[in-house]
Amino acid sequence: MGDKEIPCMTGRFDRLSLKHVAAEDKAVGAAVGAVLAGAVGLALFNPLGGGSAAAETAAQAAAVDKGAVSSGSAQAAGAGMTAAQAREEGFKVPPHAVKPSEVIDLAEKQVGVKEGRGGMTKYHKWYVSTPHAKQTADRDGGFPVADYKGAQWCNMFVSWLGAQTGVENMGWDAYTVKHATWFKDTDRWGKKAKPGAVVFFDWKNGSSGDIGDIDHVGLVVKDNGNGTIRTVEGNTDNAVKEKTRDKSEVVGYGYPDYAS
C-alpha cells in the first residue's frame, strides 16, 4: 500500500487516531475506521465521545447531508474586502488575482514542516483562529472548535495556502468531501491536472471513486505527462511533503479562480 495517508476529515475527530501506527498500516486502519463510522468520508468514530457508535454514525451522516455551510463562505466578499476585513476572516491579504505559481511557491516552502506536540501545526492554529472553523464545526455536528487541534490536517494545509496568498475561490474546509463538493457545486471541478489545482484522492477506488469516497487532498505542482502528477501535501507521514502520485488515484480536481 505504500505510504498512503489517513483520510483527512472533520466532524468528531479521533484524537488517538492512527498517527503512531506504521505507515503501511494507516490505510488499513482508516478503512476499518470508515466502516465503523458508517459515514461517508469520515475516517473514525470517536471512542471518547460517549454514546453508541450507531448514534454517532447517525449524527455524522445527518451533518454530511445537512451541508449548511459552504467551504467558500469565508470568501463571499471576494476582492471587495478591506485589509482589516480580510484579516478578521482569516486571510493574510484580501482576495485578489493570484497566479498559480505564487501558491505553488508557498506550498514548496512548507515542505519539511512537521507536526509538533499533540499533532499540532501552524495550519491547525490558523484554522481554529478563523470564524469559519466555528461554522464548519456547527455544520458537521456541533462539536467544539478545539477538536480541530491535532486532527488530520491535509485540508487545513490547502486552505491555509489559499488564505495566505489571497486566492479567490479556493475554498476553506477541514473536511475533504465537503471541500470537493463545494468545488463541484460552484462549477470549479474537473478531471484535468493543472498547476495550482486542488487534487483529491481516493486510495481504494481511485479515479473510479465518488466525491464521497475521498481520503486525502493536496496541491498540484505539475502534470508530469506520464500518467503521474507532482504534488505538495500536508498530513503526509505527519509532515508537508512533495510527492509523485499516479493519476489513477485521483477522484478529481478543484480549480480556484487564478489570474491568467
Whether 125 shows a pLDDT value over 90: the answer reads: yes
Number of domains into which the chain is organized: 1
Instruction: Report the 10 Å Cβ neighbour count for 146.
Output: 10
The pLDDT score that the predictor gives to residue 197 is 98
In a domain, 9, yes or no: no
- Average pLDDT over all residues of the chain: 79
In a domain, 218, yes or no: yes
> What average pLDDT does range 74-84 have in this prediction?
68
Whether 247 shows a pLDDT value over 70: the answer reads: yes
In a domain, 14, yes or no: no
The pLDDT score that the predictor gives to residue 5 is 53
15 pLDDT tier (thresholds 50, 70, 90): very low
Q: Write the DSSP assignment of 27-51 as a string of letters.
A: HHHHHHHHHHH-STT-----TTS-S
Give tens-digit pLDDT for 97-110: 999 999 999 999 99
In a domain, 249, yes or no: yes
In a domain, 10, yes or no: no
CB 253 within 8 A of CB 198: yes
Q: How far lies 67's CA from each of 119, 140, 160, in Å?
A: 27, 8, 21
Give tens-digit pLDDT for 163-196: 999 999 999 999 999 999 999 999 999 999 999 9
Look up residue 149 and give its three cell numbers. Answer: 487541534
In a domain, 5, yes or no: no
The pLDDT score that the predictor gives to residue 28 is 30
The pLDDT score that the predictor gives to residue 260 is 85
Enclosing domain of residue 74: 23-254
Distance of CA 97 to the CA centre of its chain: 22
| Residue corresponding to grid cell 486510495 | 203
Global pTM reads 0.76
In a domain, 13, yes or no: no
In a domain, 50, yes or no: yes
Among 63-72, 113-122, 151-160, the least confident range: 63-72
